[in-house]
Structure 1
């Protein structure tokens, strides 16, 4: 599966676009739409086209990771919510989460209930993270889009 435009919009909305590298709330160097990695450092600047490419590259990695971790059928909205969650928190956090354990056991409602619990960064509850988790939860619970 690939992230739909709806999922991409959610990620872009919450990540925001920053064309100059900055340190996030826990000190990780970040640029573009929340891109992190060894290639991001103080003083780095990019343009919108580079930010869009970084997002596409990052999404491919997270889509593959989510697809490899989820052992049950998910609809497009559920997949998008899981990719957004992982994009923000990392695949390791999804891999080790109760959210994934419940989902893979077929407890979709229980899995959805786990999203708001992931609202902390650096041990601090952050209103922006709670808002993102609530948006991911709502997307996860939304009916699958109709096939055109």
Structure 2
């Protein structure tokens, strides 16, 4: 399964596009649409096209991670919400979450209720993360239109 347009737009909106490397709220070097890794360092500059390629490459890993972690059927919006969640927080956070445990038991409503709990960075609630989790929750609850 691949992330849908709504999920991609959500990620791009909340990550924002930065063409010069910067340190995020917890000090991780980041560039493009939230790309991190050993290749990101102070002074790095990329183009719009490179940012798009980095995002698509990163998403493939998160799509596979979500697909492997979730044992129940998902509609495209549920999948996209979980990819966005994992892209922002890491696959380990999803894998160890109550959200995933509830979801894999078939408790979709209970899983949806877990999104807002993940709004902290460095131990503090962050308004932008609160907004993102609510948008992911909304997407997760949105029936597929296909």
TM-score by length of 2: 0.99
The aligned residue for residue 22 of structure 1 is: 22
- Unpaired stretches in structure 2, ≥5 consecutive residues: none
The aligned residue for residue 84 of structure 1 is: 84
The aligned residue for residue 106 of structure 1 is: 106
- Tell me the C-alpha RMSD between the 2 structures: 0.4
- The separation in 2 between residues aligned to 1:93 and 1:42, in whole angstroms, is 27
1:77–1:145 Cα contact (<8 Å) kept: no
Aligned length: 146
- Following superposition, the deviation at residue 115 of structure 1 comes to 0.1
- The separation in 1 between residues aligned to 2:77 and 2:5, in whole angstroms, is 11
Greater than 6 Å deviation, 4+ residue runs: none
2:38 aligns to what SS in structure 1?
Answer: coil
The aligned residue for residue 54 of structure 1 is: 54
The aligned residue for residue 64 of structure 1 is: 64
- The separation in 1 between residues aligned to 2:48 and 2:16, in whole angstroms, is 12
The aligned residue for residue 128 of structure 2 is: 128
1:113 aligns to what SS in structure 2?
Answer: helix
- Following superposition, the deviation at residue 5 of structure 1 comes to 1.3
Equivalent positions of 1:28-39 (< 5 A) are 28-39=28-39
The aligned residue for residue 94 of structure 2 is: 94
2:39 aligns to what SS in structure 1?
Answer: coil
Deviation per residue, 1:49-91 (Å, 9 max, x gap) = 0000000000000000000000000000000000000000000
The aligned residue for residue 115 of structure 1 is: 115
- Following superposition, the deviation at residue 43 of structure 1 comes to 0.4
Deviation per residue, 1:102-140 (Å, 9 max, x gap) = 000000000000000000000000010000000000000
